[in-house]
Each structure stands twice: as C-alpha cells, then as structure tokens.
Amino acid sequence: MTTTASTSTRTPVGELSATAARHLLLNMTPNGSLGQHGQNLFVVQRGEGPYVDDADGRRFIDGLSGLYCCQLGYSYAPEFAEAADKQLRELCFSPLWSSSAHPTAIELAERLSRIAPVDIEHTFFSGGGAEAVETAWKIARRYHALRGEPNRVKAISRRGAYHGLTIGALSLTDDPGLRDPYGPGAIETRFVSNTNRFGLAPEFVDDAAFTSHLLAELEAAIQAEGPDTIAMLIAEPVQNRGGCITPPEGYWMGLRALADRHGFLLVADEVITAFGRLGTWFGGDRYSARPDIVTVAKGITAGYAPMGATLVAHHVVEVINQPGAVLNHGYTFAGHPLSAAIALRSLEIMERDRILDNVRGLEGHLAQRMAGLADLPIVGDVRGAGFFYACELVGDLDGGGFSDTARAGLIADLIPRRLREAGLLARVYNRAAPLVQIAPPLISDRHLLDRIADILAETLAEASSRL
C-alpha cells in the first residue's frame, strides 16, 4: 500500500518556469523573450490579504489588485469556497439559452439593477470585459436597426483608449500596435480627444473651458461622420490607458446631452472602474454619468471567478425585446452558476464590510501622498481618483520626452526592477507616455497606502537622480 504525505510540496520555481516556457502562451507578452527555461517568468504562488507570494516565497504588495480584479484582496477564500460549494452541490451548470435560465443568474441580475446607475435595469452576462464590450456594440446595432435606423454603423471612442482585444472591441481600442497586426477593424470608429490636460494650454486648467473645448471637438466629429451614422460612443469614467485620466466637471453631462441630441447610445466602460475602485459602486456615479449601457467585469467577482456583464437601460431593452425580435447573441458560459454565486457573495461582502466606505475614507490621504510625488523631477503629472492613480513621467529631452538611453535604463529597467525589489507590484508603462500606475486592493489600510507611496517615492527619487 502506498501512502500520501499529509503536507503538500511545492514544485520548484525553475521547473514551473521551464514548463511554462514549453507550453504556456501568456497574454500581451513577448513569449519568446522568456527564455528557453522561462528565466524571466514571474510565478505567483499564493495570496493573503493585500499581498501575493511568488514561487520562491517572496512577498509583494499587490499594488494592481491582480490587474484591477481583486478588490477584496486574497483573504476571503473560505467565504467564496462556501458559496461555490453550495452552488456546485445544487447546480453546476445551466446555460442562459433559448428561454432557459437558472436562479443564481436571475438573483444576480436583480441585485445589479439595485446598485446600477439610474434607469439601468437589465443585464446580459458574458465571460469577461472584451465580451461585455462586444455585447454593447451588438445591442446598440440591434437597437438602431429595430428603430428603423440601420445606417448607424459607426462608433466614437477616445484617443489612447483600451476596450479589449477581441476583434470588435479592438476596433474601439486606439492602439495601432495592437490593431494593425490583425488588419482593418470590424467597426468603423472615430477617435476624439480624451480628458488628459497634462501638457495642454493653461486655459484648460479651468473645468468649464476644458469641457467646452472637448464637447465642441466631439460635436465637430459627429457632424463630420454624419450624426445619423453613429451607433454609440464608448468611454471610461476614468480612462485607464494613458494613466488614470479623470474627466473635468460637466463632461459626462455633456456627453449625455450630445447622445440625446443626435440619437446615439452612450456606453460607459466600467470594466475597471466599477465595484468600488473609485469609492462608488460605479465610477460614473462620481461624475454624474447617465449612460444607456454599462460594461463591467474584473471586480464583479473580486477576481475569484471569471465573469463579465453588459448592463442595459430599460428604454433600450424595450426596443430589442419587442414582440418577434430576437437578440441573436450569446456565450455558452454566460452567467455561469458558479461565477454568479461568487459575484453575489462578493457584493454581499462589500456591503457587510463597508468596503466602499474604506475607499472613501482613505482616498483623500492617498491623493495627498500621491500628489507629493509631483515634486520629483521625473514626475510630470499625478492624476487619479479613489484607489486608482498614475504618475506620468518626464525625461531628459526638451518637451519632457525620454532619450532611448533614458527610456531603456529607467522605464524599461530601473523603475520596474526597484519597485519589485522593494516588494511592490505596480504597472510601469514603457510606451508613448511613460507611466507608473497603482490600483491597490480596496481593503488596503492607511499604513499599506503609505508603504506604497513610500516605495514609489524612493524609486522615483532614484530614477530622478539618474536623469
């Protein structure tokens, strides 16, 4: 008889890395650069609270919440396991398909309607954020076609925006490096300015002037394309790409007015900003947003299961649900019972443990600590809201750009290396606008936020000294 040891053994990190190099294709990664044995692979083994440990047992502050997903950190596993066990024992799977549903998805859709923006009452589930954006586009097209406007086939998005990598969502993403390898986009999209004021003329410091400027540009773009050809405009309440770009006062109300005037749908992409990231259930609530459609994912399950959703206003659903109309769209695993149960438990925990109150109570302190980084020579701008901040970096060239030497030495090497050596996982962009970004778990306390700010300050001070 053979026996199994009661204690588990870890697979050596070298073996894991080598196996990954042979068999695993990573997202958004130059996989060939990992090396034959995966020498450059970072393997995360476990999580606890706001921390993750790598396969060598080194602990890091997860300053990105697992790519904006793990709102609750990593210590609620027993509660989620309980919810998952109950659901799996009752029903492991049933599709939301052909006049069929299951109780957990129904309960979650009703729960979302109670916290969603005004007039948003219906939910179409999906597997993630890009699928939620694809769904928004198809619902918009169906809506207009059923209203006798089949020529509304264009979208408006914002410069630098990222809305996903499926072929439709990619059309709404302003990054030629991501789009061009796959040929022409599936959706004809016009890109207009985002709300980043850094480097603009001094008069745009004033919210009213900046909002007026942006809306005038948008109006001109609508007229140039033809108002009766626009199906939807999509924007994030705070744009992630380009570094936590917040809107000026009145901007979202202006978007609503333009959508109403010209008859297109307004879509708020809240894949990152929903479920507490900005201290509210939906980030748009901070900016008086009144969208027709909202896309969500990531934080809906706090990272404990995959799920996306497209939340739709009642007046849109009235059209697409008219007698005889069919919404020919769906995903096999949309609203999966397990993911729905996890999402319900996440919402329950967030309410019970007053997670939104924690963000609102500490966001002022984090804002103050982050603002202090602007005194460093390498930091050109600091912006963000809630637990979502970025520093835009300036370099050694006239106008704030980086020479090739400085970019390679600081942005691509020293800053990310020093952050990790200090025990902080943050995002360092090495693109047109070099950035350092944080999005810590919403359970973070004042001490942890101070530690994050201290590590950023120490690292960026060293980088400044190397300019």
Please give the single-letter amino acid code of residue 392.
E
Please say whether the beta carbons of 149 and 327 come within 8 A: no
Give me the pLDDT at residue 40, please: 85
**Which residue bears the tokens 């999005």?**
439
Q: pLDDT, tens digit, for every residue of 160-173?
A: 999 999 999 999 99
Residue 6 has pLDDT above 60, yes or no: no
**How many Cβ atoms sit within 10 Å of the Cβ of residue 138?**
17
Q: pLDDT, tens digit, for every residue of 360-400?
A: 999 999 999 999 999 999 999 999 999 999 999 999 999 99
Average confidence (pLDDT) over 305-320 = 98
Give me the pLDDT at residue 7, please: 37
Give me the pLDDT at residue 3, please: 33
Average pLDDT over the chain reads 95
Q: 43, exposed or middle or buried, with CB in 10 Å at 0-12, 13-18, 19+?
A: middle
Residue 459 has pLDDT above 60, yes or no: yes
Kindly report the backbone phi and psi dihedral angles of residue 217, in degrees, each rounded to the nearest multiple of 5, phi listed first: -65, -40
What is the distance of C-alpha 419 from the center of its chain? 22
Residue 344 has pLDDT above 70, yes or no: yes
